[in-house]
Amino acid sequence: MSKGRGLELLKNVGMYLRNADCFDQMMKRITFVDGGDGKATAELKLGKEHLNKMGGMHGGFSSTLVDSITTFALMTHNVEDIKTGVSVDLHITFLKGAKENDEIVVQANTLRCGRTLAFLECEIRNKKDNSLLVKGAHTKFIGQG
């Protein structure tokens, strides 16, 4: 799949997120800036809804970003046969915090997409200084049930 078609798909996902009336609305501020060929890059300015009571980016929100953005990257792996699958394993490592109004960059990559499993990775970085905030790994079942 061409990068152009992948980014077009991701921008459509972004429109869905902006109008979502379910849990996905937590990601309504996301803007996809690059994607295709099994990759997705998104940017987001953190708002109060993304924070824990201490004022830092909530671990659950970070985990949601890893889960969702890796899934969106997987969707661009083959636009003719879009797969989303179901999560088998999600591993998150929290390295550094972020606070309200920080701009973050989420980069996800499809490492391997086999017949039944897909292996994905994700990094969340502070846009200002490129510091690594969160590292994630995601395994999804994509085969026939």
- pLDDT, tens digit, for every residue of 42-64? 999 999 999 999 999 999 999 99
Determine whether 112 is exposed, middle or buried from the number of CB atoms within 10 Å of its CB (0-12, 13-18, 19+).
Answer: exposed
- pLDDT score recorded for residue 81: 80
- How many angstroms separate the CA atoms of 7 and 22, rounded? 23
- How many angstroms separate the CA atoms of 29 and 50, rounded? 10
Q: What is the pTM of this model?
A: 0.93
Report the CATH number of the 3-141 domain: 3.10.129.10
Write out the H or E segment, with its range, that includes residue 120.
Answer: strand 117-126
The pair of structure tokens assigned to 74 is 């997987």
CA-closest candidate to residue 9, choices 59, 74, 91, 65: 74
Question: What does the angle CA 12 – CA 14 – CA 18 come to, to the nearest 5 degrees?
Answer: 120
Domain coordinates of the chain in residue numbers? 3-141
- How many angstroms separate the CA atoms of 140 and 83, rounded? 10
- Residue 139 has, within 13 A of its CA and on its CB side, a CA count of 6
Q: Name the band, by pLDDT with cuts 50, 70 and 90, for residue 1.
A: very low
- pLDDT score recorded for residue 145: 56
